[in-house]
Amino acid sequence: MAATSRPYPVMTAFGPGTPPRRPRILVVRPDHLGDVVVTLPAVAALRSAVPGAVVTYAASPPAAEACRRCPHLDHVIAVAFPGPGRAWGAFADAELRAAVAALGGPYDLAVLARPDDPASGTLCAAAGVPVRIGFATPQTLPFLTRALPPPAPGLSVAETTGRLLAAALAELGAPGALPPLPARDGTIVPTAADRAEAAAVLAEAGVPDPEVVLHPGSGWPVKNWPPARWGLVARRLRGRLRFPALVAGTARERPLVEQAVRASRGTAVGIAGRLSVGGLAALHARARVVAGVDSGALHLAAAVGTPTVALYGPGSPAFAPPPPRHRVVRLGLACSPCGRLEAPPCGRILHPACVTGVPADAIAEAVLAALG
């Protein structure tokens, strides 16, 4: 369908003489955990602007688990999307039909929050959502009824999502503009079950009061620091902590966690693969500081309100949580950030110079400063 800015009659929930109605809004972002979590302040701003809206978020399963703990959402739907930026493919008819059925509906409007995303476009069109707002990027544009210019490089995910939701307000006929985006703190609220899960893992690890949680892994190996350096950070911190540092990660990240723990010489305890997304959020909420590389885990920590220390190399620090509660440590090479996570220009897909050049003392000092 060709892109247009024409308002649709269905979106007259706030028009003169129109009886009050709760507009039904679908936000879709098939992406990594961090990229989804950082959109939630924009959703909170939408909720503030249209308190009566029914807001549903569709995301890939791990990110959907985090979104289920967002107080600004009415419904969350886990969809087995293709990988980020990929289409459903010629043989995915059954999967697409299942995703359409999972969406339920009907919806008045859909916001396609990922800039170049044919999967969301196909899904929302197949589900019959009449108004589809997104960015005019090549893979998304054919599915849109309202297209915004592509976001400028370096603009944060929260800001780009805010632009789309402001356009959604205009389509809804809502008075006023989208309010300023609130802080990330409190956009994820762990449940009682999450807190019990974290407490059980802490008891087994012998760390009843977590102070520092370290995350050596991320979704992109090019971002990762040599894991032994996290062990060195734990050793630098030991004199300031009552208990060993915790080294967390997914089951796939267990080798990184184990290497960090071995290098810590008894000053860290590993808990890889022990917590669900909700349990990890609860653990972060109890910690004083969470440190790691640029990753979804650190964005999750910021969303529950815990200070973070993040090592940034190829990724842009514009996506990091804001100072002063959150600290970024980076080397500042001329080629960094390159933003090329799959094929960096230096040719190093593991341990590039922008990552390995950061010394352990720089991270340890930032954590100590965050501890106060």
Q: Rounded to the nearest 10 degrees, how much is the dihedral formed by the CA atoms of 138, 3, 134, 223? A: 10
Q: CA 101, CA 236: separation in Å to the nearest integer?
A: 53
The one-character DSSP state at 117 is -
- Superfamily, domain 192-371: Glycogen Phosphorylase B; (3.40.50.2000)
Q: Is pLDDT of 10 > 80?
A: no
Q: Is pLDDT of 173 > 80?
A: yes
Tokens linked to 247? 């080294």
Q: Looking at per-residue confidence, does 175 or 42 come out higher? A: 42
Judge if pTM exceeds 0.85.
yes
CA quadruple 58, 59, 64, 69: dihedral sign: negative
Q: CA 339, CA 225: separation in Å to the nearest integer?
A: 17
- The residue-averaged pLDDT of 64-92 equals 90
170 within 8 A of 148, measured Cβ to Cβ: no
| Location of structure tokens 């890939």 | 60
CA 108 to chain centre: 25
Degrees to nearest 5, angle at CA 201 with 198 and 204: 150
pLDDT (tens digit per residue) in 277-312: 999 999 999 999 999 999 999 999 999 999 999 999
Domain ranges of the chain: 24-172, 192-371
192-371 shares the fold of 24-172: yes
Residue among 133, 135, 137, 122 at smallest CA distance from 172:
133
**What is the Cβ-side half-sphere exposure of residue 74, based on CA atoms within 13 angstroms?**
16
Q: Is pLDDT of 8 > 70?
A: no
Confidence of residue 117 (pLDDT cuts 50, 70, 90): very high
Query: Over pLDDT 90: what percentage of the chain?
Result: 73
- Superfamily, domain 24-172: Glycogen Phosphorylase B; (3.40.50.2000)
Looking at the DSSP bridge assignments, the partners of residue 308 are 290, 326
Q: Which residues contact 343 (CB under 8 A, 6 or more apart)?
A: 349
Q: Looking at per-residue confidence, does 21 or 67 come out higher? A: 67
